[in-house]
Structures are given as structure tokens and as C-alpha cells.
Amino acid sequence: MKNRLKVLRAERDWSQAELAGRLDVSRQAVNAIETGKHDPSLPLAFRIARLFGQRIEDIFDDGDHHD
Amino acid sequence: MMETIMTSDQAAPLSGEERTRRRRRRQWMYFGVAVILGAALGALVSAYDSGGGDLFLGDYTSLRLDPALSLVLAAGFLLGFVFLPLWGFTQIDEMQREQNMIGFTGGCVAVLGCFPIWAMLHAGGHAGPPDAFGVFAVGFSAMAISFFYAKFRP
């Protein structure tokens, strides 16, 4: 699943370790999400969305648009 | 009343990087405890075995231990192989939990399949009789392979 996590993190000048600590996950998990190797659970996706003050669908894109 | 109590965390909120460092330290402590526990159990078995067996080479039938010590060691292995991994599951994040579950699934499937397959091979004269340590070794190996597959898959 594509996402804007790396961009949002870069905008705040946060390292992966900083973001990982704020989300209470490992740095490896942040890296895996950013590179699309791991799709976060719904609770983690909500934590990410709240941390960046955005909606989940504004951060994550499953490529399935029905507009 | 409770809200007025200041903890050290409240006084100085931790940065994300510091939380990550603490998580990493906890993980290394877990590994350290597991290694020390394993080494201690192995050393005790080796030191007090009067039968000339070897737990880690599969010759467990020759092991002879003091009954009380055997109970202590059994409790130690219960701690090391059951409670410590289960507690570890509560200390890791969802991605690591997924990797560990894939590993445990591989180990479990291997144990379930190993005995009947081995028994059939033995019945046809292709292998010796199924052995408890052999089944354990196959299960443990499958667990490790499955875990590393989950961790390093592209």
C-alpha cells in the first residue's frame, strides 16, 4: 500500500527513530511502512493519522479509487 | 488528587528518539536474559548429569539428574521456552509480532507434520523410528527458517 509517511515525516524533520518513538513502534516498523513492506493495522493507522492531523485516506492509498 | 502527582515522565516528556532507544535497550535486555538463562540451564544439565547423556545432541535418554534438580530445570525450561517468549510477544510491535507469529506457525506446522511423515518413512524402512529430540529439532529449525523468511522477504 502506498503512503505519504516519508513525506510527512520529512516535513517535520523527524528521523525514523523519532517517529517510531512517537508511534510506540520499532524503527524497523516505520521503515517497513514507508517502503510498503508492512501495512499498518487499523489502530496504528489511526495513531499515524492523529499524529499528523490528517485523515487515514489522505496518508494511505490502496489504489482502489471509485470516484 | 491523582492528577496532581508528577511523575518523571510528566516532568520531562521523552522524545521519540529516546523512546526508541529505550525500546532497543529493552530488546537487548530480553536477548541477554534469554542467553543467560539458556547458558545457565545448559551448564546445570551438563554439570549435574550422572548418566553421560547430552540434551543438545539428542542423547536425552542417558541423562540422569537428581529428582529435585530435574524439577528446578524443568521449571527453568518452562520459563525459557514458554513464559519468556509469551511475555516477549507483549513487548514487541505489530510488525515484529507478525514476523514472530509466522515463525511460530512454521514451527507448529513442522511439528504437526514431522511425526506422521517420519513414522511413514520408518514403516517403509527409509528412516529410523521417530525421535522426540528429532521432532523438536525439526520444529525449532522450521520456526527459525520461517521467522527469517518473514523478516527478510523482499
pLDDT of residue B4: 39
Q: Does the pLDDT of residue B10 top 70, yes or no?
A: no
Where does residue B116 fall: left (phi above 0), alpha (psi -120 to 50 degrees), or beta otherwise?
alpha
* Interval B33-79: pLDDT, tens: 999 999 999 999 989 988 888 877 778 888 899 999 999 999 999 99
Collapsed DSSP state (helix, strand, coil) of residue B53: coil
In this structure, are residues B56 and B42 in contact, taking their beta carbons and an 8 Å threshold? yes
Q: Which residues of B touch A15 (CB under 8 A)?
A: 17
**Residue numbers in A near B18 (CB within 8 A):** 21
Query: What does R_g of chain B's alpha carbons equal in angstroms?
Result: 21
Question: 3-class DSSP state for residue B101?
Answer: helix
As a whole number of angstroms, the distance between CA B68 and CA B51 comes to 16
Give domain limits for chain B: 15-91, 93-154
**CA–CA dist B15, A56 (Å, integer):** 24
DSSP symbol at A35: T
- In chain A the domains, ranked by start, together with CATH numbers, are 2-55 (1.10.260.40)
Q: How far apart are CA A65 and CA B69, in angstroms?
A: 65
Cross-chain CB nearest to A21 (options B20, B94, B98)? B20
Minimal C-alpha gap between A58 and chain B (Å): 22
Helices B132-152 and B94-123, packing angle to 10 deg? 140
With a cut of 50, list the residues of chain A below it in pLDDT. none
Selected for mutation to probe chain A from B14, B17, B89, B100 (highest A CB count within 10 Å) is: B17
pTM of the predicted model as reported, rounded to 2 decimal places: 0.82
User: Considering CB atoms only, which of B16, B92, B96 is closest to A18?
Assistant: B16
Task: Give pLDDT, residue B3.
Answer: 38
Pick the residue from chain A with its C-alpha nearest to B27: A26
Contacts of A32 in chain B (CB under 8 A): 95
Average pLDDT on B4-33 reads 78
The count of C-alpha atoms lying within 13 angstroms of the C-alpha of B4, restricted to the half-sphere facing its C-beta, is 1
